Amino acid sequence: MKARSLESPGKRAQADRRIYLVSMVLPLALCAAPAQAQLRVASPDGRNEATVEIRERRLYYSVRRDGRALLLPSLLGFELQGAPPLRDGLRLVDTTRSAVDETWTQPWGEVARVRDHHNELRVSVAEAAPPGRRFAVVLRVFNDGVGFRYELPEQPGLRDFAITDELTEFALADDARAWWIPSNRPRLDRSEMLYSSSPVSVIDSVQTPLTLETRDGSTFIVIHEANLVDYARMNLRGARMENRTLHAALAPYADGIKVRGRTPFVTPWRTIQLADRATDLVPAVLGLNLNPPSVIANTSWIKPMKYVGIWWGMHLGAMTWSSGPKHGATTANAKRYIDFAAANGLGGVLVEGWNLGWDGDWIQNRNAFSFTQAYPDYDLREVARYAHAKGVKLIVHNETSGGIENYERQLDSAFALYQSLGLDAVKSGYVADLTSEGHSHHGQYMIRHYRRVIETAAKYGIMLDVHEPIHDTGERRTYPNMMTREGARGQEYNAWGGEGGNPPEHETILFFTRLLAGPMDFTPGIFDILLERGTGRARRPEEPRPRTTLAKQLALYVVLYSPLQMAADLPENYAHQPAFQFIRDVAVDWDTTRVLDGKIGDYVVVARRERNGPTWFIGAITDEAGRTFDIPLSFLTPGRHYVAEIYADGPGANWLTNPLPVSISQRAVTAASRLRLVLAPGGGQAIRIRPAR
Ligand code: NOJ
Ligand code: CA
């Protein structure tokens, strides 16, 4: 038995509380262990337990909660190009154990402080026959779930390798209900589909996070991954109705290889978040705890903010990205948006379509984008100077359309230019299924690219908002400049998408699925719900538009977490709108998050307290059904007097025929008060609870 610290000095410096680690080596006694030998590791509260075992010389893991099997023995291993699979003829070599309990502070987030409390078991195995290749599986069991990853140590029999298939299984014990989006549809929108729900046994091929509810409703399971750095993204493939086993399905290179590597090598963590109630899934910190601490020492320049943008006008067709009479990104227009942001205390202005490359088919012409040269009617330096003078940050747009080599060639010079102009935020975009080099949008090639962009951005002091991104695997812990991303169907679909816009239930599903991975740049805040002003006419019922009430648009600022939160509508649509005060007031950085009520696909009620302040916000949203909630305010500080500023659906409001009425009222409240929230069909409610003066 020996004691050692597994943590890097940086991690130790961040930790507020550090407990010891104990590692136990159970060496060769177990080499000759009977085939049934099971190795177990439990969560600190003892409820979750992971087991590793060798059966018929193959390695399996399983997961139980409160003694009930959730994942049955599930295979581990790899298929490799030009070598036998790393799967068969295995024997146990040794095991080590350790434990961690520390609390770390986020520079920004859904919660300020995160506790990493887990027990770890590392199981090393080797092929019994030559070449005797070795690998290990490391499991960490937390009170909120399990993470495991593979380690491939440096060894003569395994140097350079090419993974053709990761054999990891998730053999669900129960035909749980799943909420999912497909992963095998070649469409231009990647993760931008509407969610479906079905028993897991009929799943074909889906993306993660995959949220599951056991049939008895007692357990929620979320399968995802963490710390995806130099690997392919994991999707999940079903067994086509044969059973309930999901298989890891890695996104490929153009030549079909999934991952290229060289030992020593570690994979991303496969994560299985567990909770008794859907509402306990948020805030989701399992993946953050499985990422290394920040490598950015001084994070003071990284600041959450609200922003407006030359953006919705293009999606409505009132402006263009390309040059011409409707060009949105003109110097004068940018100054108008900067003035609006400054006048309303919004931190940033996004300008899309400022750079050369948008004329013609900008998806086909992706290698023509310049990231430094502006259209003649947009004076980048002058706009940067003006924004700076007004105390507003300019968010520079970089659409790549998947022209990765074109972007990488310009990355350093572009980011250096932005830095020299004092511009410290970039919104990037990857509208393409395959890169111009033919690789999957989610494969190792792109994972490496996204990481290169994050690192380069950190070097030049740039915050990132990535659209058409790789899914969030907790990068923000290590690189807090990686702030937010899209990676789901956002508001833009309400301008031009099919199905008449996102259905009223959409955001109540996003909250329990996509948002468990991390923040989302959904871009809430459309006030002209009928889209009359941007387009000059009301939409016909079958045409897309936001299928929400106006009060629900406000509630989304609290429900759908993002450290960069857009006020998405045209500035003129906020004029003379008393409800706009909520967008001015709402916080973008949180100390505490509490989900007060929620049901996947039906409704969500969340309370969050602002970082470094006493003010609370509540956001409540519902699907197409009207609902009433009775909310105790017991989370407020006892004995303190507060004022609740309430933005509720007005009389007769409903998303379909009357989405605009908002009733704004104030009420004195304390921790002993209860609020009755009445939500219209497709409606919502937004509340600011500030200390009484
Ligand atoms: C898709 C992004 O999601 C959207 O925000 C952007 O305006 C367009 N691409 C153009 O880059
Ligand atoms: Ca998009």
pLDDT reported for residue 463: 98
Backbone φ and ψ for 440, nearest 5 degrees, come out as: -60, 145
How far is ligand 1, taken at its centre, from the CA of residue 544, in Å?
17
Q: What integer pLDDT is reported at residue 189 of this predicted model?
A: 66
Which residue out of 426, 467, 486, 520 has the highest number of ligand 1 atoms within 8 Å of its CB and is therefore the one to mutate?
Answer: 467
Ligand in nearest proximity to the CA of 311: 1
Confidence of residue 539 (pLDDT cuts 50, 70, 90): confident
> Rounded to the nearest 10 degrees, how much is the dihedral formed by the CA atoms of 52, 54, 59, 60?
-50
**Does 415 have pLDDT greater than 90?**
yes
d(CA 467, ligand 1 centre) in Å:
7
- pLDDT (mean) for 297-308: 97
Q: Is the CB of 140 under 6 A from ligand 1?
A: no
Rounded to 5 degrees, what are φ and ψ at 181? Answer: -120, 145
**Residue 97: partners with Cβ closer than 8 Å, 6 or more residues away:** 22, 23, 24, 41, 119, 120, 121, 122
Predicted local confidence at residue 17, as pLDDT: 37
Whether pLDDT at 6 is above 50? no
Q: Say yes or no: CB of residue 623 within 6 Å of ligand 1.
A: no
Q: What band does 158 get if pLDDT is binned at 50, 70 and 90?
A: very high
Segment 396-404 shows an average pLDDT of 96
The SS3 of residue 192 is coil
| Model confidence at 287: pLDDT above 80 | yes
| Least confident segment among 111-125, 214-228, 511-525, 534-548 | 534-548
For the cut 90, the answer to whether the pLDDT of residue 650 exceeds it is yes
Q: Residue 555 above 90 pLDDT?
A: yes
Centroid of ligand 2 to alpha carbon of 469 (angstroms): 9
State the pLDDT at residue 536: 72
Rounded to whole angstroms, how far apart are CA atoms 370 and 354? Answer: 10
Which residue segments constitute the domains of the chain, with CATH numbers given?
24-174+225-273 (2.70.98.10), 292-332+339-487 (3.20.20.70), 490-517+527-693 (3.20.20.70)
Kindly tell me if the per-residue pLDDT of 215 is higher than 50: yes
> In terms of Cα–Cα distance, which of 561, 489, 532, 536 is closest to 660?
532
CA of 429, closest atom in ligand 1: 11
pLDDT, tens digit (0-9, with 9 covering 90-100), for 159-174:
999 999 999 999 999 9
Mean pLDDT of 625-652: 98
Assess whether pLDDT exceeds 50 at residue 30: no
Q: Which residues surround ligand 2, an ion (CB under 5 A)?
A: 467, 486
Distance CA 346, CA 567 (A): 9
Closest by Cα among 295, 384, 405, 279 to 334? 384
Backbone angles phi, psi at 595, to 5 degrees: -85, 115
Task: Report in angstroms the alpha-carbon separations of 364 from 442, 443, 445, 468, 497.
Answer: 20, 21, 20, 17, 21
pLDDT of 307 > 50? The answer is yes
| pLDDT tier for residue 242 given thresholds of 50, 70 and 90 | low
33 Cβ contact partners less than 8 Å away, ≥ 6 residues apart: 92
| 492 given a catalytic annotation | yes
489/499: higher pLDDT: 489
The residue annotated as part of the active site, out of 225, 486, 492, 507, is 492
The pLDDT assigned to 239 comes to: 66
Q: Is 431 in the pocket of ligand 1 (CB under 6 A)?
A: yes
Residue 399 Cβ < 6 Å to ligand 1: yes
pLDDT of residue 37: 75
DSSP reduced 3-state for 450: helix
For residue 541, what are the CA distances in angstroms to 312, 501, 526? 20, 10, 17
Per-residue pLDDT at 26 exceeds 50: no
Distance, in Å, from the CA atom of 416 to the CA atom of 461, rounded to the nearest integer, reads 9
Those residues whose C-beta lies under 8 Å from the C-beta of residue 508, and which sit 6 or more positions away, are 598, 599, 600, 601, 602, 603, 604, 621, 622, 623
Ligand 1 pocket test target in 399, 491, 566 with most atoms within 8 Å of CB: 399
Residue 77's alpha-carbon distances to 55, 126, 145, 681, in angstroms, are 13, 12, 21, 49
Note if the bond before 131 is cis, omega within 30 degrees: yes
Between 17 and 583, the more confident residue is 583
Q: Which two tokens stand for residue 608?
A: 């969050």
How does the average pLDDT of the chain come out, rounded?
Answer: 93
pLDDT tops 70 at residue 229:
yes
Question: Is 70 exceeded by the pLDDT of residue 582?
Answer: yes
pLDDT above 70 (res 594): yes
Closest CA to 212 of 185, 173, 167: 173
Q: What is the pLDDT of residue 433?
A: 84
Atom 2 of ligand 1, residue of closest alpha carbon: 467
CB of 430 shorter than 6 A to ligand 1: no
CA nearest ligand 1 atom 11, residue: 399
pLDDT average, residue stretch 91-97? 97
Nearest CA to ligand 1 atom 8: 429
